[in-house]
Chain A
């Protein structure tokens, strides 16, 4: 799962295309705040920004490439608050 400032939606999807990842599920306009720092994203007057999140399930070979690419993107601008979590998954309905 990748959570990011909605302003980065385009970059993330472009990243997927680059890596040849086709499938994903995107959730839009999410509120939230970071665990230790970073501005909350509330879509309000006080905290105007909002987050988006993407679920994608990739093969074990693709996963490290994606994680590397996301880390590189996060380095460019940490304020955008990119977060990504990775866990094992099993396909039950193909």
Chain B
């Protein structure tokens, strides 16, 4: 949040602290309110060193005098008769003028030295150490941080609701604007995902209706959706989780699967009803017949999602919840399919016959649709039958083609880039500009103007721009960007919502980068678009070693290398450029001779330059610091420091220049340590370049060109490290899922061969994933990887249905060929139906353009690609392989054991 004002600016900070910060702090959930920029009132006692010397007074004495004369001391109680008196001594300053009258010293001649004699007392404002500019106006920024366990959205709402009431009491020229509202992104993302979820429900219901073309049946199946959703919400409230993005995405993933079981059960019941059984008994026996099969397919899905809950690290936080929610919803949907669906069918399916009667006479839209769809589906079925017949006669060719496709898709692997988490467009740009060192914050105002000009001209999508320069005063910088040096300028630009602009934040960042190159005083600049789930910049390399020169050298070389790689932006090192400093090297021998030590001298010099906060001036309940320091004309250059006088214990004054040397040096602004060793971190952002490409190039560079001295270690950190950890975990998880699914199927089929045949649908799921990623130019992130793992559970379902039915028909005495073709024909519809519901439930997630959609898009893309491709292949290849594996053995048919 930022407040701007014209006339009230000098007092703005004070006004805000009283009128805004305190009330805001009282809102539940608000952790801290940081105020940045703007003037702070303080009482300055500016000392004239020449007068000090003349009167033989030191700064410390002035400070002492001030704190001794500005006291309230309760001295106890006194009883006079029945009256009780509190005795107190109150010498607090009531006016600023009083301060000048304080006596510092009695001279030996009998005179007195007052503060007014050696210093000028001014009611002034603090020399600003941080300047904030918002939309070209000097501003004071307020940052409201929530408590750790508080809900961001609730806190933000409460704070924003309080602002209008509070701003009424502010002077009329004060304007308050929101610069960054992190809850915006959350709310918009949730809205967007809720929309996605609604579309998913609509699509699923539509698919079910088109296939069944019965309102009542569709209604019964659709009923499992709210039941499962309610179960998911109950689970959430029990585990104490909040409604978050992971939950909503998980639900849209689960949505396509929850209806599957219901479809199977309902279909069987409907068959009974068609034969004239009364619905009640049809429901009873129809459900019993398929119950075991339904539970078995659910188990394969659970086998994939349950291990997700055991993931650790960042991926664990994300996908643990995904896993548990999908497991809960799927299990509940199965329970609903076995209980609720039969019950509803027994009550609602009666009208079936009357529907048939109507279909003969009616010519409504529904019947047209009925005929069309029926026609399309039967011609599809016939075509598939023919294809299947042909394939069974050309097993080798089909297998060879499939194998070639799989191998061919592996060639795509190098073209798929990787990243840790997809970057999301949260409509915020952070610009950091490094200016020449050793300049005052004031001088950067011109640069701020230039940067703002760039934004005003080139970025029409701009909503508000806020800049700050200088080190922040306590509590971290206001708007998340932590600038440390007085020469670092940071700018936060908030853009209008995604729906209202055509360019993404990444494209805008590119434009701004190009423009910033024209600002001559900017030594280094970076434009970052923080968003997504990854912590910090995607590329982070730690260089660990105690020799600072060596590590700096390597860091510089790495940065140079990184800058050469295409698509790398903002390559920088954590240590930063050296800052100029004046170092006073004291001569201990000389100090000792004068009865001084380094501590005393250092403290004195600090008091002269930085100032000594002696006491506080109280006015109208507010306290202001009284700061004693040298007048600024006496602290301008190195010589001034040399001339500063330090008092010895016997009252003599010695100049600093005679105690040691004052030198100009450069110091690194900060030194970081990893495992007790000094380290530098080299970081960079990426623009449309996959992480793995950068890792490879950097590794190559380190191995071949870089000369790494002994004692220096180079290690990847940040996203790279997280990605490597996560991918290792995920590969393990993938293997585990495949084994678990195989075990579940082996138990279900009581065979090792049949599950093996079914497993052949898996490679093509990955072929599909690769194709989808390459075609949509999506990078393989952890999210997309999870999509691949989910596929293991989803794609085998189709093959299970198919193989199971082939077994069934063979058990009923059909020949191998007939059994395969027949089961293909009869299972085509259920397979298409369940596949389409899953696909279409994911579809809105894949095409959504809204805020926060980038995060889950890769998963949806991966699942859609993998499922589509795998289903198409499964429908042909799995029957062929079945025929191939079962060609010799005569299936023993025993009716009694089945």
Contacts and interface: CB of A to CB of B under 8 A. Distances in A.
Interface of A: 5-11, 31, 33, 39-40, 42, 44-49, 76-77, 79-80
Given A6-B285, A7-B282, A9-B281, A47 B898 contact: yes
B280 interface: yes
Interface in B857-885: none
B802 to A, nearest CB: 15
Contact of B898 (A5, A44, A76): A44
Interface string B268-284: 00001001111011101
A49 B289 contact: yes
Interface of B: 272, 275-278, 280-282, 284-285, 288-290, 292-293, 807-808, 811-812, 895-898
Contacts of A40: 895
Given A10-B280, A80-B276, A80-B277, A49 B285 contact: yes
A5 B278 CA distance: 12
Given A47-B812, A80-B275, A8 B898 contact: no
Contact of B281 (A10, A46, A47, A79): A10
A7 B898 contact: no
Nearest to B811: A46
B507 to A, nearest CB: 58
B530 to A, nearest CB: 56
B18 to A, nearest CB: 78
A42 B276 CA distance: 20
Contacts of B292: 45
Contacts of A10: 278, 280-281
B811 A77 contact: no
26 contacts: A7-B278, A7-B281, A7-B282, A7-B284, A9-B281, A10-B278, A11-B278, A31-B896, A33-B895, A44-B897, A44-B898, A45-B292, A45-B898, A46-B807, A46-B808, A46-B812, A46-B895, A47-B895, A47-B898, A49-B285, A76-B276, A77-B275, A77-B276, A77-B277, A79-B276, A80-B275
A88 B520 CA distance: 116
A39 B898 CA distance: 13
Nearest to A32: B895
B272, B275, B282, B289: most-surrounded residue (chain A CB, <10 A): B275
Contact of A7 (B272, B812, B896): B272
A46 to B, nearest CB: 4
A-B CB proximity, top 4 nearest: A44-B898, A77-B276, A46-B811, A48-B289
A44 B811 CA distance: 10
Nearest to A33: B895
A76 B277 CA distance: 10
A45 B808 contact: yes
Contacts of B280: 10
Contact of A8 (B281, B288, B290): B281
Nearest to B897: A44
Interface of B is mostly: helix
Contact of B277 (A5, A47, A48): A5
A33 B898 CA distance: 13
A8 B289 contact: no
A41 to B, nearest CB: 10
Nearest to A80: B275
Contacts of A47: 811-812, 895, 898
A31 B281 CA distance: 18
Nearest to B808: A46
A12 B807 CA distance: 34
Contacts of A77: 275-277
Contacts of A9: 281
Nearest to A46: B811
B95 to A, nearest CB: 98
A46 B895 CA distance: 8
B429 to A, nearest CB: 62
Contacts of A48: 288-290
Nearest to A14: B278
A94 B565 CA distance: 102
A49 B289 CA distance: 7
B131 to A, nearest CB: 78
A7 B272 CA distance: 9
B145 to A, nearest CB: 61
Nearest to A77: B276
A7 B277 contact: yes
A42 B285 contact: no
Contacts of B293: 45
A40 B272 CA distance: 15
A47 B812 CA distance: 8
A76 B273 CA distance: 12
A42 B281 contact: no
Contacts of A44: 897-898
A6 B288 CA distance: 12
Contacts of A80: 275-277
Nearest to B271: A79
Contacts of B277: 5, 7-8, 77, 80
Nearest to A10: B281
A82 B442 CA distance: 99
Nearest to B289: A48
Contacts of B285: 6-7, 49
Nearest to A39: B812
B272 A46 contact: no
A47 B288 CA distance: 12
Nearest to B280: A10
A44 to B, nearest CB: 3
A46 B807 CA distance: 8
Contacts of A7: 272, 277-278, 281-282, 284-285
Contacts of A31: 896
A50 B807 CA distance: 20
Contacts of B897: 44
Given A46-B895, A47-B895, A80-B276, 9 more contacts: A5-B277, A44-B898, A45-B293, A46-B807, A46-B808, A46-B811, A48-B288, A48-B289, A77-B275
Contacts of B898: 42, 44-47
A3 B278 CA distance: 17
Contacts of A39: 812
A52 to B, nearest CB: 11
A7 B278 CA distance: 8
